[in-house]
Structure 1
Amino acid sequence: MCALWQILPAIKGKYQCLSHICGGADAGRELTEKVIELPVKVENGQRYSSVRPNPSKVVITVLMSVKDYNNYTSRDFEAVVDLADWEKNEVQYLPILLTKVPDYCKIISVVPQNVDFFVRK
């Protein structure tokens, strides 16, 4: 797998690692994008009876090896919001934080990047 994710667009929307970057056995490995839906977990919300992010799920687009495409599922990734941001800074929206991402996967996008939330004391 590529240590540095320098990618060269190739034929039919796939990607190839540059051989001088990937080196050795991983040179020339094809890459592809995978879209995964993740539930949003709430951190630091224990002081409240209910904290509900809205929307409760996010969609991520991940760049990975074609060989590993079927090996990664939503269980291999984790999306959280930290309620401490709201308590400290009184922010209106909470940013999505990806706390668990497998090695050699590159996150291309997270939709939405921020979520609204409902808190019940």
Structure 2
Amino acid sequence: MREQHRKWRARIGPEKIRAANLWKKYRITPEQYDALREAQDYRCKICGTHEDDITAVLSGRPRLDGQQTAEPARLVVDHCHSGRRVRGLLCNHCNAMIGQSRDQPAILRAGAAYLEGAVRCIPYASRRG
């Protein structure tokens, strides 16, 4: 089965693999992804960082055949896990923040309140001695 999958991937190429992944995971096409990017002015929907200023995160392992993989997306698809709907495109940091909060706005609000209330931070000794 693994060998069949490898042959299929080699036959269709990186762009079609990307299209298949977008459809399988989020039920969107590459054109819909690009339309979202344009609608968001190529920026993270939360922090506003432009995709050119985001370091692309390489995922997965290197190809065994040495061929180039598709360019990794700089803005990742954020989706609602319960309703299976795409919410927008985020940078990896904001996407991780949403995931770590378990998609619960109350946790994010509590985190913001904590940061805003932490005006007086307790200094700690440096390790340099």
Q: TM-score, normalised by structure 2?
A: 0.25
Please tell me whether Structure 1 or Structure 2 has the larger radius of gyration of its CA atoms.
2
Structure that is richer in strand per residue = 1
Greater relative CO, 1 or 2 (CA 8 Å, sep 6+): 1
Q: TM-score, normalised by structure 1?
A: 0.26
Structure that is richer in helix per residue = 2
